[in-house]
Structure 1
Amino acid sequence: MSDLNKLGLAEARDALRKGEVTSVELTESCLKAIDDADALNAFVHKTPEIALERAKAADARIKGGDAPSMCGLPIGIKDLFCTKGVPSQAASKILEGFKPEYESTVSQQLADAGAVMLGKLNMDEFAMGSSNETSVYGNAVSPWRRGNDDAQLTPGGSSGGSASAVAADLCLAATGTDTGGSIRQPAAFTGITGIKPTYGRCSRWGIVAFASSLDQAGPMTKNVRDAAIMLEAMCGHDPKDSTSAELAVPNFEAMLTGDIKGKKIGIPKEYRMDGMPAEIEKLWAEGAEMLKAAGAEIVDISLPHTKYALPAYYVIAPAEASSNLARYDGVRYGRRAQLAQGDGITEMYEKTRAEGFGHEVQRRVMVGTYVLSAGFYDAYYNRARKVRTLIKNDFEDVFAAGIDAILTPATPSASFGLGEMTDADPVQMYLNDVFTVTVNLAGLPGISVPAGLDKQGLPLGLQLIGRPWDEGDLLNTAYALESAAGFVAKPGKWW
């Protein structure tokens, strides 16, 4: 078999079980693809020795007949996950040289399941960004191009390296994290599938924190079946994470029947934004028709507090970031600034943080500190928390009325060029999250499925939002949508 790196998780698993291919061969194919794709800047810490060692162990395990679904499958790990003995910088200068002595729960579970780690993936610094342009490693680049234009495009953010690597077949799948859309938006931009599970479904232990009440890990894969396989390996209760849910993890793959007859799919009127591109509007309408043709009932619904979601998110997330990032001070680990004669501890904090944090992180820390300050706490932070409750209640009311899933666009546009938005008002960049942040504020599961191309040949995604803890049903609805959309486009290789 040639081009083994182009396989998905399910195809590769089945080939491994049949003895048609070994994990070492799969891994070597991915390692070669990674070495040939430095132009994408997706992998920022390569770990070929670890990969080949794990691949050999996986082959032995498969031979012995004791192999879970993920065994022997080569994947990438976002740089936000702590990986023992391997640099874990959260794409920030302030964590330069940090090699954890421990493994995050999610990456450990994947390793225990036999998955092969190929290396660490690029991302926005501390997961703050929608275009992967705030990374200390430089921009991650999308494998897609607009028509015959050779301008570099963003793979989305913050999980841009993960999205780029999966779309370019550098790995079979990758981990991502989603605080306000950081799995679903890059998945939509690069024509892959990305699911953010219910808050609490995957452990956050060992994942560098951005906003603790919003962060959630999830898989980024080539299709819905692969997402089901990888999600099952990532989920599970973790006593080390107080927000981790003590719930059994179902066999998500077994729930992919494609049968959605009688399911009620809600179409929220509030997601029809002024100035939404006609292509996005058309794709959304086509998605609803596809689900209707598959036997679902399409219902118009209202989520009245949606318009307050973005401002509430950009108060709550920076507030939590300001608190979480206070620990980076040059004392225990990571970078410490050079101090002048006579500098005290205050100067050390100031210089280290000024040098170590990029502009976007500094901006959000300052916003967060401001909204938490004594004079403004009630005016901003407390009010945003109340709005968050109203947004959560909107979803609860809709689900209580019998809606099974909600269909919306995943992003307000297709991928844009690197540098096109960085000089603009930062709010323009924040608007990329307009369809995704509500899901994080309400703690719900959401999935982005590639559903079409825009007139320039770039992928567009649709988002499905599910009931809490009902990832199995959500994945099945996504599977039906994927089957109907029949999206098979791949980027032309230029790198």
Structure 2
Amino acid sequence: MSDLTQLGVKQIRDGVAGGDFTAREVAESFNAAVAGAAELNAFIVTTPDHALAAADAADAKRAKGEDLGKMGGVPIGMKDLFATHGVQTTAASHILEGFKPQYESTVSQKLWDAGAGMLGKLNLDQFAMGSSNETSYFGNVSSPWKKDGTNAAMSPGGSSGGSSTAVAARIAPAATGTDTGGSIRQPAAFTGICGIKPTYGRCSRWGVVAFASSLDQAGPMARSVEDCAIMLEAMAGFDPKDATSLQMDVPNWEAALSADLKGKKVGIPREYRMDGTDEEILKSWEQGKEWLRDAGAEIVDISLPHTKYALPAYYIIAPAEASSNLARYDGVRYGLRELPEGAGLQDMYAATRAAGFGDEVKRRVLIGTYVLSAGFYDAYYTQAQKIRALVAQDFDKAFGECDVILAPTTPTASFPLGSLNEDPLTMYLNDVFAVPASLAGLPAMSVPATVNSDGLPLGLQLIGKAFDEQGVLNAGLAIQQRAQFGAQPDKWW
């Protein structure tokens, strides 16, 4: 096997199990790829020893004839939002720099139990707040893709930009992501990979640094629908340590994958034809309808009337929860402590947060504190929660007429780093197609469709009923088989 880094999760797992190559050979190949890709800035910390130890354990199991597990022999990248025992976990923020948890997040532990190894901790927007991976204290992540004819550094999307870059650049076969308002799907679309946000509660939030607790959900990012299904099976499951965890058996998504959509109805929301959406995105959406029709599905028009209110509601609810969650970073118990001479407790809080939080985090904390304050709570937060309920009702009604929804993932392709920094509202609009499914807690996936005239990837989004990850994965597989997306970025790093 010439280049093991070209292989995905399924190929690596099956190849190691079948003796085509050893797990150690795989880990060594990816460790070398990670070390050679420092220019992308995808990793905050690398953990080559962790990857090799897991690989040796997988090889030893195979020698004894034992089951290697769902992810046996597969090294992955871990978004630096997941607590990893003894390995720095920062949420890409200065306020947590140097913090080494004495515990392991449930999701990462499940992956290690399934046989996966860790290549390192992946960069992200600070506290997962951002759509371009430019708010990290540890520097911007560059997409491996370049716009044809230019050398400008492009955004890998956010907040899981380190994850999307690592998978697209072939320096990790897969990575964990988290999605609060599109942070798995948007970066997946920007970099030409697959990513699925499962139903809220499918994956435990225990040990994941919190942004907005009623929205945050972990999920896999990988090169194919099959790989996402395999990894999601390993990540999902009930966790008594998380009060919002679903007490449901994890389906065998991989075994039930089918691209045959006969008898299925695919809904096309008319409200998603928004001003400012790139023409080539709309064209790929039309193409997506044809692919699903070819797979046997019936295409039906549906209405999601409260779509236009979803984004403003999200940008009230998410910052409100963030302001509450981030109050724990005070310089007292862990992480950064700034203590000016002669300072009292309140001064220490203020100095620590001023030095430790980045501008975008401060902006969202201020917004959140404002909308939760006396006199504004009912005017903003209560109204936003009502909108959230209406958005969820829209989906319930729509799923009476269809089985899965097809929409664009993003309104545009990737953009150059730095190009939207002066305009936070335009940046927030990146999430316009992703946020409604997050507010409703529904499973949603981005699958690569094509590359545009600038040579940049475009993704299509599939949204399913609650708990119907299988329907989303199956529709994603139907698109994947017809799109035959094989484009890869040219190596420049």
Q: TM-score range by the shorter chain?
A: over 0.9
Q: Which residue of 2 aligns with 1:420?
A: 419
Task: Name which of structure 1's ranges 43-52 and 307-316 shifts more when overlaid on structure 2.
Answer: 43-52
Following the alignment from structure 1 to structure 2, what is the Cα–Cα distance between the partners of residues 238 and 58? 25
Query: How far, CA to CA, are the matches of 2:3 and 2:193 in structure 1?
Result: 18
Counterpart for residue 153 of structure 2: 152
2:464 is equivalent to residue 466 of structure 1: yes
Name which of 443, 449, 453 aligns with 1:451.
449
> What amino acid is the match of 1:358?
G
2: distance between equivalents of 1:51 and 1:200? Answer: 28
TM-score normalised to the size of structure 1? 0.99
Residue 415 of structure 1 aligns to which amino acid in structure 2? S
1:385-436 per-position Cα deviation (integer Å, ceiling 9, x unaligned): 00000000000011123x110000000100000000112x210100000000
- The answer for the alignment partner of 1:362 in structure 2 is 362
SS of 1:27's partner is helix
Residue 129 of structure 2 corresponds to residue 128 of structure 1: yes
Tell me by how many angstroms 1:38 deviates. Answer: 0.5
Return the alpha-carbon distance in structure 2 between the equivalents of residues 80 and 61 of structure 1. 30
Partner of 1:393: 393
Question: Does the CA contact (< 8 Å) of 1:78 and 1:161 recur in 2?
Answer: yes
Residue deviations 1:114-147, cap 9 Å, x none? 1011110000000000000000110000000011
**What CA deviation, in whole Å up to 9, does each residue of 1:311-369 have, x standing for no partner?**
000000000000000000000000001321x2100100000000000000000000000
Amino acid paired to 2:403: D
Distance 2:172 2:155 in 1: 19
Q: Which secondary structure does the structure 2 equivalent of 1:10 belong to?
A: helix
Tell me the C-alpha RMSD between the 2 structures.
0.7
Partners of 2:369 and 2:389 in 1: how far apart? 22
CA distance in 2, matches of 1:329, 1:190: 36
Measured after TM superposition, the shift of residue 47 of structure 1 is 0.6
**Any residues of structure 2 matched to 1:300-315 within 5 Å, and which?**
300-315=301-316
Query: Do 1:211 and 1:320's aligned partners in 2 also have CA atoms closer than 8 Å?
Result: yes
Report the AA paired with residue 264 of structure 1. Answer: K
Matches within 5 A, 1:62-461: 62-63=62-63, 64-340=65-341, 342-401=342-401, 403-423=402-422, 425-461=423-459
Q: Deviations over 1:66-113 (max 9, x none)?
A: 221201101000000000000000000000110000000000000001
SS in 1 for 2:399: helix
Q: Which amino acid aligns with 2:155?
A: T
1:482 to 472, 480, 488: 480
Identity value in percent: 64
Structure 1: state its 5+ residue gaps: none
Alpha-carbon distance, 1:263 to partner? 0.5
* Contact 2:276/2:411 (8 A) holds in 1: no
2:9 partner amino acid: L
Amino acid at match of 2:391: I
Instruction: Give yes or no for contact 1:405–1:464 (8 Å, CA) kept in 2.
Output: yes
What TM-score results when the alignment is normalised by the length of structure 2? 0.99
Instruction: Provide the aligned length of Structure 1 versus Structure 2.
Output: 492
Residue 189 of structure 1 aligns to a residue whose secondary structure is: helix
Distance in 2 between the 1:275 and 1:311 partners? Answer: 17
Deviation of the 1:148 alpha carbon: 2.5
Q: Which residue of structure 2 lines up, in the alignment, with residue 38 of structure 1?
A: 38
Output the CA distance in 2 between the equivalents of 1:241 and 1:490: 38
- Contact kept, 8 Å, 1:255 with 1:473, in 2: the verdict is no
Q: Is the 8 A contact 2:313 2:388 kept in 1?
A: yes
Q: Any runs of at least 4 consecutive aligned residues in structure 1 with deviations exceeding 6 A, and if so which?
A: none
Question: Any idea what SS the aligned residue of 1:153 has?
Answer: coil
Deviations 1:31-86 (A, max 9, x none): 00001101100011001112111110111123332221201101000000000000
Greater CA deviation, 127-136 or 53-62? 53-62
SS of residue matched to 2:152: coil
Taking the aligned partners of 1:62 and 1:442, their CA distance within structure 2 comes to 43
Matched position secondary structure for 1:286: helix
Q: Give 1:476's aligned amino acid.
A: N
Unaligned runs of 5+ in 2: none
